[in-house]
Structure 1
Amino acid sequence: MSDRIRWGILSTGAIAATFAGDLRLLPDAELAAVGSRSTEAAERFAAEHGAARAHGSWQALVEDPDVDAIYIATPHSAHYEAAMLALRAGKATLCEKPFTLAVSEAEEMAETARAGGVFLMEAMWMRCIPAIRRMVELVRDGAIGEPVSVHADFGIQGPFPETSRLRDRRLGGGALYDVGIYPVTFAHLFLGVPSTVQAWARMSAGGVDENTGMLFGYDGGAVAALTCSLLGDSARRGTITGTLGRIEVRRDFFHPHGFTLWRGEEAEEFDLAYEGRGYQFEAEEVHRCLREGLIESQLVPLSETIDILRLLNDISGIIGLDYSS
């Protein structure tokens, strides 16, 4: 592995731009190339973000010999196709969440990566944020006792037109897979896989969920109450309550700069501020794994990515969200 990890970004949308911006915060990262189905879009992105090369096809990007790792930033429905191209070309792959819209496709991606000895990780940046990692450590070390409940909400301000990607069923639109994956992942980090799942949703005319509530029950008696929405800007709070205390994130629980640990009425503040939007931490994890010769991250393991995708699939069945047709 060279001194710098050379990245290729596949797709040129808003999240690709955010990732490119945060990549500049890593001294050992280089934005080597960008690939798009449009040569013009690739050239514009390369000029704006300083990529050395612009490719007018995904295939050309994954075949670029001067690219070490591919970041896949397409809409959800194209993740499988793009990731399989990258993996078959032997490129380390960081694929945006959700991995895919079908569990079988995610399993095939994981099997392909393992069989080929190629690194693969879901770009669930939340799991790599320093404050989230510190919360997980504290709960694991017993700082709040036994976790008994998790509450989290993520709603974004609408309305969005039916033409928006967020409402387009063909692109994997809807609240659950776009923003609901964050509260579901938050609950999973602290409570694991639930034994019972209940869910309710208001569905759009186009067949995607736009306001969804979820209630998880666990064998040990813990519960999680979660919501996601495309209709209004929620508080975006996250709370983990235990038998000896609780942890609270007052805003944007999925990429916080800090949190509060409560024991009774005594509060301890944790400040873990960072530059940028926080996408650099998932790239940094990819760098660590590649330098250590790993093909999978222990911080964002493929098994848990697939467990969460199965859970989203179960919720989809309950609320009537169907991407198969």
Structure 2
Amino acid sequence: MKKNYRWGIMGAGKIADKFCTALMATEGAEVYAVASRDMGKAKDYAVRYNAVATYNNYEDLIKDQNVDIIYIATPHSFHHEQTLLCLQHNKPVLCEKPMSLSTKQTTEMIAAAAEKKLFLMEGMWTACMPFMEKILSLIKEDAIGQPQYIHADFGFTAPFDPAGRLFKKALGGGSVLDVGIYPIFLATIIFGKPSLIQSVSKLTTTGVDEYANMVLQYPGGQTAHLLSSISFNTALEAEIIGTKGRIKIDNPCFKATDFTLILNDSTSEHFSMPHQSNGFEHQIKEVMHCLDNGLLQSSKVPHQLTITVSKIMEEVLKQAGVVY
């Protein structure tokens, strides 16, 4: 591994705070520079995470020659423009999920990275966690037979704020893009591309989806029942059911440490895989592994997976009457 990767952090909100906490706990990584339109926030991050440089605009961060890779932690609606700007200045990018507001934008971002021969990855941290790697291994080993059905949910109660990120359409608000992406990712990594998508949603007065109740069917007849919400709490659990048994992922299923393998004969095995930090460290290590080996994309979050998930979200939103 390269002795040290100097990360540039674009945005200084809650998600960047969690990411920087994990960076501090990850060997070979440092919070080198932070950019925020609020200089006070940038300076606060610099103090807490020992950053060398702070910027009150994103362009100066991108032009900093000492920055090895940029983590984009701004609202969804800015990801497309900011990623393209990073790539134009030859900076590899880890872009927080969702990659963008549309499949068209996501495809453009991936194409730009390929043209520049630069690393680009969507920040789907779940894909990099040990529990997910173990579950995929168990399925490959035929532990539950052929997977047939998945149900997964991610819902929480957010105070209604028409100007806030979750409810403002101009910022890419709504449940699907913010949290629905997690159950959709799980179904996609197991079953692939669906042949049928049916969804029922409720919209807020600001025109974004308050919840989405999704049923997906796949070419082999498998089905997934997925739910996302920003107006009510859900169990935050998931289950993958196969012909020989099932895997139950405990709360919180999007960053789980525990899951149980339950076979049809009622025998079971519990797995526990605690995070060393807050879970973001696995994603950070995966990015640095890719950079070490000159990879342009991660095998855990390949570009095709990002595109497939984007297409599913776009169809669900289209059925709800939401177009960004």
Q: For this structure pair, what is the TM-score category when the shorter chain's length is used for normalisation? A: over 0.9
SS in 1 for 2:85: helix
SS in 2 for 1:299: coil
Partner of 1:283: 284
- State the 1:160 CA deviation: 2.7
Task: Measure the CA separation in 2 of the matches of 1:40 and 1:219.
Answer: 52
Contact 1:132 1:255 in 2 (8 A): no
Partner of 1:94: 94
Task: Measure the CA separation in 2 of the matches of 1:275 and 1:293.
Answer: 26
Contact 2:157 2:233 in 1 (8 A): yes
1:135-164 CA-to-partner distances (Å, cap 9, x unmatched) read: 111112211100000000111123332232
SS in 1 for 2:94: strand
Partner of 1:149: 149
Gaps of 5+ in 1: none
Task: Measure the CA separation in 1 of the matches of 2:158 and 2:109.
Answer: 34
1:1-325, aligned counterparts within 5 Å? 2-264=2-264, 265-323=266-324
Task: Measure the CA separation in 2 of the matches of 1:5 and 1:50.
Answer: 14
Task: Measure the CA separation in 2 of the matches of 1:208 and 1:108.
Answer: 24
Amino acid at match of 1:68: D
Amino acid at match of 1:136: L
Contact 1:19 1:279 in 2 (8 A): yes
In the TM superposition, structure 1's runs of 4+ consecutive aligned residues that sit over 4 Å from their partners are none
1:164-207 CA-to-partner distances (Å, cap 9, x unmatched) read: 21111110000010010001001111111110000001110000
SS in 2 for 1:254: helix
Moved more, 69-78 or 49-58: 49-58
Aligned residues: 323
- State the 1:277 CA deviation: 1.8
Task: Measure the CA separation in 2 of the matches of 1:158 and 1:284.
Answer: 31
- State the 1:299 CA deviation: 0.9
1:89-127 CA-to-partner distances (Å, cap 9, x unmatched) read: 111100000000021111111111111111000000010
Contact 2:144 2:263 in 1 (8 A): yes
- State the 1:251 CA deviation: 0.9
Contact 1:151 1:226 in 2 (8 A): yes
- State the 1:38 CA deviation: 3.4
Task: Measure the CA separation in 1 of the matches of 2:171 and 2:77.
Answer: 5
Task: Measure the CA separation in 1 of the matches of 2:2 and 2:179.
Answer: 36
Task: Measure the CA separation in 2 of the matches of 1:160 and 1:22.
Answer: 30
Amino acid at match of 1:147: P
Contact 2:189 2:305 in 1 (8 A): no
- State the 1:259 CA deviation: 0.5
SS in 2 for 1:115: helix
TM-score w.r.t. length of structure 1: 0.97
Task: Measure the CA separation in 2 of the matches of 1:2 and 1:301.
Answer: 23
SS in 2 for 1:166: coil
Amino acid at match of 1:316: L
SS in 2 for 1:85: helix
Task: Measure the CA separation in 1 of the matches of 2:305 and 2:161.
Answer: 33
Task: Measure the CA separation in 1 of the matches of 2:47 and 2:249.
Answer: 38
Task: Measure the CA separation in 2 of the matches of 1:22 and 1:143.
Answer: 33
- State the 1:213 CA deviation: 0.1
Task: Measure the CA separation in 1 of the matches of 2:283 and 2:320.
Answer: 31
Q: RMSD across aligned C-alpha pairs, in angstroms?
A: 1.1
1:253-307 CA-to-partner distances (Å, cap 9, x unmatched) read: 1110020001121110111111322111111101000101111111110111011
Task: Measure the CA separation in 1 of the matches of 2:159 and 2:86.
Answer: 35
Task: Measure the CA separation in 2 of the matches of 1:250 and 1:74.
Answer: 29
Moved more, 146-155 or 314-323: 314-323
TM-score w.r.t. length of structure 2: 0.97
